[in-house]
């Protein structure tokens, strides 16, 4: 699984802590998601999409191999 | 932009240290009832030390450990907590099995290890049946 969270966050000039506060998660969790070490729940992924006004699949996408 | 939070609980940094203190006080009272007065000073130091440690960790809610100890973990930290609990449970089962083997090898009945292992097994199966319905 790949994601564009860092890209979207930096476009909005947000720190990881600010995004975490906005989404109700810790800065460590934002870091883990950006690094691909943690897959967020569907509610959190939907919250991210709503926050950035994009679709979930604009943030998260499967690798070419189709795996996680 | 206002979005729904994924935090599962309100911060309650005092919950874990208070629980530690109450349980520790219970152990100290039990020691006193059993007449083990000699161990009480050490027990009091351990209980107070653990209470202070967990209170400090719980107030550092910006860290993973602080959030988990403080009762306000987000979904990833809840996952960490669950995996840690499961790993500790597996460790405990290994200790129970080894304890049972040692007791049996010494020619004893295997108690209380056998009963504890049986209790674990019953609880484990019970929770599997309970959680599969949710």
Reported as a single tens digit per residue, the pLDDT across B58-105 is: 776 667 877 777 767 889 999 998 999 999 999 999 999 999 999 999
Q: What is the pLDDT of residue B20?
A: 85
Among the partner residues A32, A50, A51, nearest to B76 by beta-carbon distance: A32
Q: E strands along chain A, which residues?
A: 2-3, 60-61
Distance from CA of A47 to the nearest CA of B (A): 6
The mean per-residue pLDDT over the stretch B111-121 comes to 93
Report the gap between the CA of B62 and the closest CA in chain A (Å).
7
Does the distance separating the beta carbons of A43 and B62 come in below 8 Å? no
Compute the distance between CA of residue A29 and CA of residue A59 in angstroms, rounded to an integer: 16
Residues B5/A46, Cβ–Cβ less than 8 Å: no
The whole-angstrom separation of Cα B37 and Cα B25 is 14
Give the closest of B1, B64, B74 to A22, CB-based: B1
pLDDT averaged over every residue in chain B: 85
Using the structure block, give the residue that is written with the tokens 């107070």.
Answer: B48
- My answer on whether omega of the bond before B112 falls inside 30° of 0, hence cis, is yes
The reported pLDDT for the residue numbered A29 is: 95
Chain A residues with a Cβ under 8 Å from any Cβ in chain B: 22-29, 32, 38, 40-41, 43-44, 47-48, 50-51, 53
Cβ-count burial B53-82 (b if 16+ within 10 Å, e if not) = ebbebbeebeebebbbbbbbbbbbbbebee
User: Which pLDDT score, from 0 to 100, does residue B92 have?
Assistant: 93
Tokens of B111: 């108690």
Q: With DSSP H G I counted as helix, E B as strand and the rest as coil, what are the percentages for chain B, rounded to 5?
A: 75, 0, 25
Using one digit for the tens of pLDDT, what is the confidence trace for A3-41?
999 999 999 999 999 999 999 999 999 999 999 999 999
The answer to whether the Cβ–Cβ distance between B4 and A26 falls below 8 Å is: no
CA distance B115 to chain A (A): 39
ipTM: 0.84
């Amino acid at each position: 699984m790949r994601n564009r969270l860092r890209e979207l966050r930096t476009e909005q000039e947000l720190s990881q802590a600010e995004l975490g506060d906005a989404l109700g998660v810790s800065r460590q969790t934002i870091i883990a998601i950006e690094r691909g070490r943690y897959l967020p729940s569907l509610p959190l992924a939907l919250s991210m999409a709503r926050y950035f006004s994009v679709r979930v699949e604009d943030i998260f996408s499967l690798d070419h191999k189709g795996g996680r | 932009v206002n979005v729904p939070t994924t935090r599962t609980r309100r911060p309650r940094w005092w919950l874990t240290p208070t629980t530690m203190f109450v349980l520790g006080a219970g152990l100290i009272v039990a020691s006193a009832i059993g007449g083990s007065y000699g161990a009480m000073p050490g027990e009091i130091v351990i209980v107070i030390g653990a209470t202070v440690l967990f209170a400090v960790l719980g107030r550092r809610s910006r860290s993973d450990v602080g959030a988990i100890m403080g009762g306000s973990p987000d979904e990833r930290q809840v996952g960490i907590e669950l995996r840690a609990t499961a790993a500790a449970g597996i460790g405990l089962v290994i200790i129970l099995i080894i304890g049972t083997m040692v007791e049996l090898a010494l020619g004893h009945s295997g108690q209380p290890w056998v009963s504890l292992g049986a209790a674990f097994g019953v609880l484990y199966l019970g929770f599997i049946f309970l959680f599969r319905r949710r």
